[in-house]
Amino acid sequence: MSRSGQPPDLKNPYHLLAVKPNANRMIVGTLRGFDQFMNLVVDNTVEVNGNENSEIGMVVVRGNSVVTVEALEPVNFCFIVIFLSNCNV
């Protein structure tokens, strides 16, 4: 059985977050899903580059390129525990 899936918070299953992949980029969007390798599916994504913002829609961020993930809104503690346990951190 696959351990990948959608964020498990029932009230708000989608979380706004900022992801910093390598190569000095920053993307902000809504988390739609993830898997055990920490590959992230992010929707309504905006790439932030200094004062410039570029809307890029839905993206898949490979787990090995993720440097940091920051929640931009309050997140249920249960979500964090399940997310980390799925990522084998």
Q: How far apart are the first and last CA of the chain?
A: 19
Report the C-alpha gap between 87 and 33 in whole angstroms: 12
SS3 state at 87: coil
Report the C-alpha gap between 25 and 83 in whole angstroms: 23
Residue 1 is predicted with a pLDDT of 45
CATH number corresponding to 15-86: 2.30.30.100
What confidence category does residue 79 fall into, taking pLDDT thresholds of 50, 70 and 90?
low
Report the C-alpha gap between 33 and 40 in whole angstroms: 6
Task: Order the strands of the 52-61 sheet from edge to edge.
Answer: 52-61, 40-49, 27-34, 15-21, 66-71
51 is written with which tokens?
């004062």
- The string of pLDDT tens digits covering residues 29-62 is 999 888 888 899 999 999 998 889 999 999 999 9
pTM above 0.85, yes or no: no
* Residue 66 reports pLDDT greater than 60: yes
Pick the more confident residue, 46 or 25.
Answer: 46
Return the domain boundaries, the chain. Answer: 15-86
